[in-house]
Amino acid sequence: MLEPIFQVDDFSFRFPDLLEPTLRHITLTINPTERLVITGPSGCGKSTLLYVLNRLYPHNCDGEVSGAVRIFGRLAQDYDPGEVNRKIATVFQDPDSQFCMPTVEEELAFTLENLQVPRQEMPQRIDRILHLTGLEDLRHGVIQSFSGGMKQRIATACALIMEPECLLLDEPLAHLDPLTAKEFISWLNHLQQESGIAVIAVEHKLELWGSFFEREIALSENGTIRKDQLFTERDAPILPDRTSAIREKVLFEASGVCVSYASKSILRNIDLQLQSGEVTVIAGPNGSGKSTLLKALCGILKIDAGTITGMRVGFVPQSPEQLFLSKSVEGELAFSGNSSAEKLRHLMTALDLRTIAHAHPFSVSHGQKRRVAIGAMLADERQMLLLDEPTAGQDLKALTELYRQIESRAQDGCALVVVTHDMNFASSIADKVHLMKDGILSGPYQPEELFSNSALLAEYRLHMPKKGDLYAPAFA
């Protein structure tokens, strides 16, 4: 019998700035070659548990702990700094947080240098991992010029080049388009079968993984293990159809918009018209220019040609912490001063933020950060909202409330643009859908028109939404 990779015995963990523990009395064993998924509502401690397993916590945050964690039979605290990372590789939820070098090849080489791999061995290992991950053409590419999805693949390649025995993934599909996500899972499945590496992932989008996982550990809202059992595939729930708001007037218009970066054309002659009370979804493959378009529309990026006219825009980016200006969650929502105290209390409750009201917005989970940023923009009460991947890292409860908030703002006459890879959410919330590929925007399409056209979905790397019962328990 092989020695377990992890043995966790009655382990509890509390962040120094929180009154209550994030994880409570966790006991579990994880063996070599296992494929395990950690699930649970947003903010329940899933990512925290992952970072306990790779020894990042409590050693880098002064957390208070009780119980024991053993890694390959040794107590976690007995490992020297960095020692365990030769066997346990991690891909974080925000890939930008782990990049140090400008290009893909330099980042891979930097990883090998930290492992003291002989220089003469580096080219072969870099070539191999680039081939395995399909990143050969990006070898000399500048990492910060790529989309969030591409950055996730690069971060995964950097983890795998260490040739670990266990791979920890924190919501690896959050920024991947559906077909890229399926390809990633297929590739990971092949790699795991060949190498026998253990794969442990924190994930909300279980429907995309199919039968990949063998075991599920579900955490409850208070950070305890609610269930630990063999995994069963689930269908994705979908929200009910939204009654469209009355379209009154054009609030915003882009005409002939072009954007380039480092002499490369990113956006090509974009035309887009947004009307009062309308929800527009923009979908398409990773790297197609969706996030760039939102940044151009809100004025973050300078356009090279064309015109943009309309109302003042609110923007929630893929990395929500870029917006934070306050020292508490409730302070962040109140920052604009445009909402009444009653409205702020309603948003805090609706977005499930009251229990973290006094926490620093940088200290909460990634899913909670996203809800804080969305709440701040909703509280600002602008008539134009641009949301970049707002569904990433959200459980069913949070998705349902996001749907309701978007619906409410649309009924009030707000125009909203949602960039998303989640076709279940898109099919239920969209009044119209634009598709994007290679910097070119097509459409608009009616949702029923798009989702009945399999050839068009395949061309833009999208999938058919699955029907399901919205009101079924999210983690039954």
Please give the Cα distance from 89 to 109 (Å, whole number).
16
Give pLDDT, residue 308: 92
The sheet that has 250-261: what strands, in order across it? 264-275, 250-261, 305-310
- In the chain, pLDDT over 70 holds for what percent of residues? 94
Closest listed residue to residue 252, CA positions, set 189, 309, 304, 320: 309
Report domain extents, the chain: 6-230, 250-313+382-460
Report residue 248's pLDDT band, with 50, 70 and 90 as the boundaries: low
Question: Under CATH, domain 250-313+382-460 is a member of which superfamily?
Answer: P-loop containing nucleotide triphosphate hydrolases (3.40.50.300)
Equal CATH topology for 6-230 and 250-313+382-460: yes
- In the chain, pLDDT over 90 holds for what percent of residues? 45
Give pLDDT, residue 235: 56
Report CA-CA distances (Å) from 137 to 19, 140, 287, 462.
Answer: 49, 8, 14, 23
CATH topology of domain 6-230: Rossmann fold (3.40.50)
Residues found in the chain = 476
Query: What average pLDDT does the segment 425-446 reach?
Result: 93
Give pLDDT, residue 474: 34
Please give the Cα distance from 252 to 297 (Å, whole number).
9
Query: For 24-64, what is each residue's pLDDT tens digit?
Result: 999 999 999 899 999 998 888 999 999 999 888 887 777 88
Looking at residue 103, what DSSP letter applies?
B
